[in-house]
């Protein structure tokens, strides 16, 4: 740099530094004055920087100066420009010093007024960071969080001193977050700034307010550059500035500088360390007590979107779809965001897993890593685990029991990539508080590794707004009561209108009689002989004045009363019209309240995505096939309770799609298809219905196998040719029917589709199978949840019943000329097709009703699955918006009854389940047969009961976690709290397999096993023992009493399912 340029640069630095004090004073007085000062400084700096050979910087100053001219500059923009000038001044000062070192004639340079430092704190500062790259990234993440709060800080700054408490609180909250990260120096700094926030009692001290506006600009180099010494000194200079109203004590300055230069960041870089011993602390989900509720709510709102982004990118990477590098970066960003947010909250489980994932993605992106199939499976499992932990925090799912195993495996991902079996380094001693430490003993290929979730300090799920949910339930009940009262008010209004109409009719008749009476009285008076006196006492004759007797007076008084009654009736009519308007308005308000309440309970379909994806992957693994799940309509919002009720049926359909629909790899390649099958779920709302469609790209239904099984069971006559595809598809809905000869844990029991149909009908909807070329689709149509439902009131057998209109297609006034009998079945002609006809009275009361239908009765056309059915009723009364109520927990569940409703007159009317009633009537079964469970099956069929597993453990969390896992895999699960409870439940309903804990009250697992083995049929029952006791002597005790398999903690879900499959195959 030439001497002239160096001089110009020094002059620019001197001008900018000299203007700092003036600028701070102006900021304290008014933003307008500060804007003028900034404009002058920018103008001078632009000229001097041009002379110093820095035209680009000069142009930036000139552009900012031009933008200020001629307008009112907001205070926030003035603060931002002030920060920029301070940063530019510091940067130019550093360049000026570097230029002096390179210049021979230093005496000709203009002096630079550098900030003075305390001699006790003199340090030869370095501009290089001594932190590791992961720790530098942690500081950069923190700066991004602070930047996101800058607008809020600026708004509070402009509101000082009125907003002093809020500003100080935000600073202290930020300091607590820094403390959790080990940045105790920044915590001390934030506390110091919070103490310096001016309050009302201090008056309007403008200089401290202006100084407060500069802490972010001074903090940025510290966080973005990795806490170099120069940035530490800059922060200290800022805090020791004389413009603060309070000075900083030397001792505190020394302590603060040491803390700033020595951050105690946690060592969490798993991928760069030697294998370490992991324990439950590394996967804990305990939220730090110092975290505010607002921060936690923000995390819970953002985390599900990040887990979906991670899973979407990873799924496409594994399947080979999409642009590889961009998908890797998407997964990298999602895991990085999750890691940073979870670290701030203290959620070590999410943070550690996300960081371990990020380490793999970093190498994938930078080094061109090509993950092996084993590593791809591990990455998918880790993604599922992170998603499940987030769902657990939201109260939507159980805590994943394999989280520690997954983290350990992901920590050693390089060994998995190289095909090396990693050593298990999970610390079993930390998995139970009341059990002695035990080394993790590696078992044979059939051994399990099982974790006891109770032994781990399971965090309580963070459910935001739990009190709000309770208030919501109360509001829902009140809204139902209001709806019932509104129905009764409308009914009462109708009755009042009828009464008023009757009064009006009587009024008209009374008016007629009045006229007649008036004529009679007048005629009588005229016919009466006149008195002899022609002139009265006043000298007036009869022609000059009418004379009335008592009859006249009484009659006219009566006429006046009648007229008053008529006027009152007219007022009553007017008031009834006003009441009708009010009742209608109340009805609209109640409808609006219902929609508002129900909208609050709706959640996006994406909340179920994780469970559905895991179900498909687990079914693929168990069947040895390759399949991926594509979900459309994830943003559609559905009632939370309804979505949870549909989870089971949808997983049934997904398992069937993988097991029955998707072909083996060999057959797919022979057919010219991709190796990986595709299963698709489509969610959409059509009017008042939620439509869910499940379809796969497999080979469709095995019609030949269905025909063979139907003939073997006597459902179709043998030797009469192939039934139509539609008829064969309908057989799949029958209880106990399956096209498979063998029963496995995935399919073959014949209960999956029956359970799907039963659940759909229980929810007031339907399920049907749609056949397409070389494939089929399963369609569920469920009415969306409503507080009130439009129901049709009909009369059958002299009684009133309510029918939901969800399945009613049309109502016909009569069936005259449309009925015909064929083979003992009455049919109704509708267009070009014939549909079965049933009398509702006959369906309800059996053979006591006349066999010949009455053609004059009205007819309802209903959609029953894929069929159209006609139902005749004696009368169609009316349609009403009614509230469906359950008979109560103590009342038995009656066949064909959906619930009860209350009419406007207070009478209680049953709501009929026509799907159930007509299905039973079509099967021509008696009332006793109708009362049987739908899950029962003909004795001629194969083993159709779901295989039953009894989970015995004194820990509620263990029982609930294993129950959901096994139920998702299609098993029927019963739980028991100890050995005595298990013996009783085994006696009532024998299980096919038992999962037993070793140590329990009353009767432990060893004693329970011994009792089971002493029974005549007990030797054939598989018993798997789950315990944290992994020492050899405990294994020998278990083998001695007859345990089939020994499970240690923690366990892998896949290993558990494999062992169960081995015993139940």
Q: Which of 989, 994, 1058 is nearest to 1025 (CA)?
A: 994
Asked if residue 30 has pLDDT above 70, the reply is no
| Burial of residue 142, with CB atoms counted within 10 A of its CB: 0-12 exposed, 13-18 middle, 19 or more buried | buried
pLDDT score recorded for residue 923: 57
Asked if residue 994 has pLDDT above 90, the reply is yes
Asked if residue 269 has pLDDT above 70, the reply is no
Asked if residue 770 has pLDDT above 90, the reply is no
pLDDT score recorded for residue 292: 59
pLDDT score recorded for residue 1044: 92
pLDDT score recorded for residue 898: 80
Integer Cα distance of 751 and 748 in angstroms:
8
Integer Cα distance of 37 and 23 in angstroms:
6
Asked if residue 28 has pLDDT above 70, the reply is no
**Beta-bridge mates of residue 87:** none
Average pLDDT over residues 119-145: 70
Split at pLDDT 50, 70, 90, the class of 749 is very low
Q: Among 45-54, 632-641, 760-769, which range has the highest average pLDDT?
A: 632-641
Integer Cα distance of 124 and 1064 in angstroms:
73
Asked if residue 608 has pLDDT above 90, the reply is no
Split at pLDDT 50, 70, 90, the class of 375 is confident
> How many residues are present in the chain?
1065
Tell me the whole-structure pTM to 2 decimals.
0.48
pLDDT score recorded for residue 950: 93
pLDDT score recorded for residue 995: 92
Write down the number of H helices and E strands in the chain. 34, 24
**Beta-bridge mates of residue 780:** 692, 767
Average pLDDT over residues 648-656: 88
Integer Cα distance of 176 and 185 in angstroms:
11
pLDDT score recorded for residue 37: 75
Q: What angle do CA 280, 283, 286 make, to 5 degrees?
A: 95
pLDDT score recorded for residue 753: 80
The tens digit of pLDDT for each residue in 173-211 reads 888 788 878 888 898 899 888 888 886 555 545 667 778
pLDDT score recorded for residue 159: 81
Asked if residue 460 has pLDDT above 50, the reply is no
Of the listed ranges 129-138, 415-424, 554-563, 670-679, the least confidently predicted one is: 415-424
Split at pLDDT 50, 70, 90, the class of 1008 is very high
Interacting residues of 611 by C-beta distance below 8 A, sequence separation 6+ = 397, 647, 651, 968
pLDDT score recorded for residue 425: 46
**Please, are residues 1002 and 976 in contact by the beta-carbon 8 Å criterion?**
no
Bigger pLDDT: 2 vs 699: 699
Asked if residue 428 has pLDDT above 80, the reply is no
pLDDT score recorded for residue 951: 92
Q: Give CA separation, 739 vs 751, 755, 962, in Å.
A: 12, 16, 30
Bigger pLDDT: 1052 vs 613: 613
Of the listed ranges 41-45, 806-810, 818-822, the least confidently predicted one is: 41-45
Three-state SS at 689: strand
Split at pLDDT 50, 70, 90, the class of 21 is low
Average pLDDT over residues 217-234: 87
Q: Give CA separation, 211 vs 21, 36, 83, 499, in Å.
A: 10, 18, 10, 80
pLDDT score recorded for residue 847: 58
Q: What angle do CA 443, 445, 447 make, to 5 degrees?
A: 45
Three-state SS at 877: strand
Alpha helices, DSSP H, located in 346-465? 348-366, 373-393, 403-411, 413-417
The tens digit of pLDDT for each residue in 59-80 reads 777 777 777 766 666 666 676 7
The secondary structure of 252-310 as a DSSP string is HHHHHHHHHHS-------GGGS----B-GGGG--PPPTTS-HHHHHHHHHHHHHHHHHH
Three-state SS at 1053: helix
Q: Which of 1050, 746, 1057, 782 is nearest to 915 (CA)?
A: 782
Q: Which of 399, 249, 231 is nearest to 964 (CA)?
A: 399
The overall average pLDDT reported for the chain is 75
SS3 annotation, 967-1024: HHCCCEEEEECCHHHHHHHHHHCCCCEEEEECCCCCCCHHHHHHHHHHCCCHHHCCEE
Bigger pLDDT: 574 vs 426: 574
Split at pLDDT 50, 70, 90, the class of 515 is confident
Asked if residue 721 has pLDDT above 60, the reply is yes
Average pLDDT over residues 573-594: 81
Q: Among 121-130, 625-634, 948-957, which range has the highest average pLDDT?
A: 625-634
């Amino acid at each position: 740099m030439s001497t002239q340029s160096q001089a110009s640069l020094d002059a620019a630095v001197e001008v900018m530094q000299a203007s700092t004090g003036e600028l701070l004073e102006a900021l304290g007085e008014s933003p307008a004055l500060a804007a003028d000062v900034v404009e002058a400084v920018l103008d001078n700096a632009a000229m001097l920087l041009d002379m110093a050979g820095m035209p680009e910087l000069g142009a930036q100053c000139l552009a900012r100066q031009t933008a200020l001219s001629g307008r009112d500059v907001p205070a926030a923009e003035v603060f931002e420009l002030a920060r920029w000038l301070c940063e530019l001044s510091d940067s130019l000062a550093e360049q000026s010093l570097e230029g002096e070192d390179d210049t021979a004639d230093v005496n000709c340079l203009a002096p630079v007024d550098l900030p003075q430092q305390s001699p006790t704190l003199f340090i030869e500062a370095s501009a290089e960071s001594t932190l590791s790259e992961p720790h530098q990234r942690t500081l950069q993440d923190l700066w991004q969080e602070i930047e996101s709060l800058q607008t809020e800080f600026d708004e509070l700054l402009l509101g000082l001193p009125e907003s002093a408490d809020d500003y100080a609180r935000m600073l202290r909250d930020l300091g607590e977050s820094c403390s959790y990260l080990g940045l105790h120096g920044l915590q001390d700094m934030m506390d110091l700034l919070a103490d310096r926030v001016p309050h009302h009692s201090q008056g309007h001290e403008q200089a401290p307010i202006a100084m407060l506006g500069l802490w972010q600009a001074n903090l940025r180099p510290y966080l973005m550059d990795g806490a170099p010494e120069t940035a530490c000194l800059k922060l200290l200079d800022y805090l020791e500035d004389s413009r603060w109203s309070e000075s900083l004590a030397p001792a505190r300055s020394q302590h603060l500088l040491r803390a700033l230069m020595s951050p105690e960041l946690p060592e969490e870089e798993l991928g760069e360390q030697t294998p370490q011993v992991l324990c439950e602390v590394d996967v804990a989900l305990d939220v730090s007590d110092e975290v505010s509720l607002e921060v936690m709510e923000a995390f819970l709102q953002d985390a599900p979107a990040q887990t979906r982004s991670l899973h979407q990118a990873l799924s496409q990477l594994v399947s080979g779809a999409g642009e590889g590098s961009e998908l890797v970066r998407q997964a990298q960003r999602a895991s990085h965001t999750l890691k940073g947010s979870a670290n701030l909250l203290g959620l070590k489980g999410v943070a550690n897993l996300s960081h371990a994932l990020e380490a793999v993605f970093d190498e994938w992106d930078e080094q061109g890593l090509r993950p092996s199939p084993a590593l791809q499976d591990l990455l998918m499992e880790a993604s599922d685990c992170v998603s499940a932990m987030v769902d657990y925090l939201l109260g939507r799912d159980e805590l994943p029991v394999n989280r520690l195993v997954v983290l350990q495996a992901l920590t050693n991902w390089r060994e998995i990539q190289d095909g090396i079996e990693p050593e298990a380094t999970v610390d079993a001693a930390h998995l139970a508080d009341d059990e002695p430490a035990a080394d993790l003993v590696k078992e044979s290929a059939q051994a399990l590794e099982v974790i006891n979730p109770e032994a781990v300090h399971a965090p309580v799920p963070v459910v935001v707004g739990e009190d709000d949910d309770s208030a919501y339930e109360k509001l829902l009940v009140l809204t139902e009561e209001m709806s019932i009262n509104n129905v009764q008010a409308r009914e009462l209004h109708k009755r009042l209108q009828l009464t008023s109409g009757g009064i009006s009719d009587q009024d008209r008749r009374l008016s007629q009689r009045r006229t007649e009476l008036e004529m009679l009285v007048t005629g009588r008076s005229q016919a009466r002989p006149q008195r002899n006196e022609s002139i009265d006492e006043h000298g007036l004759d009869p022609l000059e004045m009418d004379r009335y007797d008592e009859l006249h007076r009484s009659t006219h008084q009566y006429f006046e009363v009648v007229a008053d009654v008529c006027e009152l009736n007219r007022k009553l009519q007017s008031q009834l019209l006003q009441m009708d308007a009010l009742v209608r308005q109340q009805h609209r308000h109640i409808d609006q309240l219902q929609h508002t309440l129900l909208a609050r309970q709706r959640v996006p379909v994406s909340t179920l995505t994780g469970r559905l994806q895991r179900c498909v992957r687990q079914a693929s693994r168990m069947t040895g096939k390759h399949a991926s799940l594509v979900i459309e309509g994830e943003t559609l919002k559905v009632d939370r309770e309804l979505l949870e009720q549909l989870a089971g049926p949808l997983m049934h359909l997904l398992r069937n799609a993988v097991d029955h629909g998707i072909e083996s790899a060999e057959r797919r390649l022979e057919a010219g298809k991709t190796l990986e099958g595709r299963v698709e779920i489509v969610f959409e709302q059509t009017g008042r219905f939620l439509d869910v469609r499940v379809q796969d790209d497999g080979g469709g239904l095995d019609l030949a196998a269905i025909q063979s099984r139907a003939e073997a069971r006597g459902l179709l006559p043998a030797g009469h040719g192939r039934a139509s595809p539609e008829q064969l598809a309908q057989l799949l809905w029958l209880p106990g029917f399956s096209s498979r000869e063998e029963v496995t844990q995935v399919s073959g029991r014949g209960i999956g589709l029956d359970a799907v149909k039963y659940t759909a009908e229980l929810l007031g909807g339907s399920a049907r199978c749609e056949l397409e070329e070389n494939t089929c689709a399963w369609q569920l149509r469920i009415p969306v949840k409503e507080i009130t439902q439009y129901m049709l009131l009909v009369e059958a057998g002299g009684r009133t019943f309510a029918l939901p209109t969800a399945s009613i297609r049309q109502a016909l006034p009569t069936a005259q000329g449309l009925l015909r009998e064929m083979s003992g079945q009455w049919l109704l002609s509708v267009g070009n097709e014939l549909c079965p006809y049933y009398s509702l009275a006959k369906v309800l009361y059996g053979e006591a009703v006349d066999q010949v239908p009455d053609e004059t009765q009205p007819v309802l056309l209903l959609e029953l699955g894929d069929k159209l059915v006609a139902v005749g009723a004696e009368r169609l009364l009316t349609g009403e918006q009614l509230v469906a109520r359950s008979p109560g927990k103590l009342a038995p569940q009656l066949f064909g009854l959906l619930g009860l409703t209350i009419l406007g007159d207070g009478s209680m009317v049953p709501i009929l389940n026509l799907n159930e009633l007509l299905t039973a009537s079509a099967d021509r079964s008696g009332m006793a047969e109708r009362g049987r469970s739908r899950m029962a099956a003909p004795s001629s069929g194969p083993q159709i009961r779901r295989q039953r597993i009894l989970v015995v453990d004194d820990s509620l969390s263990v029982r609930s976690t294993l129950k959901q896992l096994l139920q998702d895999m299609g098993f029927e699960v019963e739980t028991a709290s100890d050995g005595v409870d298990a013996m009783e439940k085994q006696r009532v309903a024998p299980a096919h397999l038992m999962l037993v804990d070793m140590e329990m009250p009353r009767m432990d697992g060893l004693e329970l096993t011994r009792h089971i083995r002493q029974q005549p049929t007990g030797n054939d029952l598989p018993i798997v023992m789950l315990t944290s006791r992994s020492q050899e002597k405990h294994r020998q005790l278990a083998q001695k009493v007859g345990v089939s398999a020994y499970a240690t903690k923690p366990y892998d879900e896949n290993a558990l399912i494999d062992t169960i499959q081995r015993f139940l195959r």
